[in-house]
A = this chain, B = another copy of it.
Amino acid sequence: MTTIVDKARNDMAVFEEMESAVRSYSRGWPVVFEKAKGYKLWDKNGNEYIDFFAGAGALNYGHNPSEMQKVMIDYIQNDGVIHSLDMATAPRKKFLESFNEIILKPRNMDYKVMFPGPTGTNTVESALKIARKVTGRDTVIGFTNAFHGMTIGSLSVTGNSFKRNGAGIPLNHAISMPFDQYVDEQDSIAYIERFLEDSGSGVALPAAFILETVQGEGGINAARLEWVKKIEEICRKWDILLIIDDVQAGCGRTGTFFSFEEAGINPDIVCLSKSIGGVGLPMAITLIKPEFDQWGPGEHNGTFRGNNLAFLAATEALNNWKTDAFSQNIKKMSSLFQERMKRIVEKFPELNADLRGRGLMLGIGVHVDGLAGEICAEAFSRGLILETSGAKDEVVKFLPPLIIDEDGIEKGMDILEESIQAALEK
């Protein structure tokens, strides 16, 4: 039988020959993708794929939403300014106004908006810099299994040792503390507090904590809301800034625009990227409480801070948040997913599995070495795009576009069940 992978083999040669060994997704999904709409993708040979990956969380609104396509095409046709650094442009203005009206004001949030360069690691680097500058302290506390990016500042607060070793230098000025429920039956809050209160602990008063409320790359680890709240209390008690890295968990992924809304916290700095650009175009913003916005003009800069096509799509995307309907649907779809996940875990005890996550950031931890990866490979050959996560790639991750519907979930999960069956029979 000729598989979709076999058929694509010739097309893949150029990537193998010309691209660096660092390439990754094109290894696991070795076909040339051509079209995409909503929660579906098609490859060059016309094969259809259900997308439970959403561009690693950058496509919360699905592929090519028609209204976003329209505004981009109009803008290009009218010779709109495509690239503008941090010059003032009409789309930047409109984005700022919409972000204020639709997101900040209704939530009683008061932040300055920084455009730090268009990637997740850029917003994290800007957050770390301003936190250190404002406090005059050098240490930042990150958490076990955190993922914040690949540039040296962000990598220093990232947990994964394979990524860290890629730096080729020791990664300093950062301390890793235990995430929620890191060690069985031990309370990580007590541990963290002890280190901070004891002046002999060897851990300096940090500039900031940087936290993902749900860790995506680290294994879909969702902190309990009360734990998140306690981390904020610790920050307040010792006058430490709280940075929430909402690059993956934000923009609706957990059911609310910000992942931390349910926890009722009030971070000092918030990092957004991925889906903030609406349609998958590079864009990032850093929200900074006005009292901490102590940058000098140009103290942090970058060429691609003015991606106007992204601003247009981003503004369209914000319209989804004008009412409660979008949020309600995410919660509904999350329930459907979780039901199916539960049934799967029960049906396949051989997986020795556990369930993880919040909203539409979900995962099944598979405690058989290498099995999660095999399941994803089987799923791909059946038309479902699924990625693993976790330090040992032990988690099957569900990160569908938020516009997924019942039909998409059922079809995807049916494929998953077949794939598990196939992987177990190998």
Contacts and interface: CB of A to CB of B under 8 A. Distances in A.
Interface string A213-228: 0000011000000000
A36 B151 contact: no
Interface residues of A, number: 154
B200 A300 contact: no
Interface in A57-112: 57-59, 63-64, 69, 72-73, 76-90, 92-93, 96-97, 99-100, 112
B131 A200 contact: no
Nearest to A279: B82
Nearest to A23: B86
Q: Which 7 A-B pairs have the closest CB atoms?
A: A83-B280, A132-B168, A176-B202, A200-B391, A151-B151, A152-B153, A22-B295
B19 A112 contact: yes
Interface stretch (A118-126, A324-332, A363-371, A418-426): A118-126
A236 interface: no
Contacts of A300: 22, 150, 163, 166
A59 B34 contact: no
A58 to B, nearest CB: 5
A24 B301 contact: yes
Contacts of A349: none
A313 to B, nearest CB: 9
A299 interface: yes
A264 interface: no
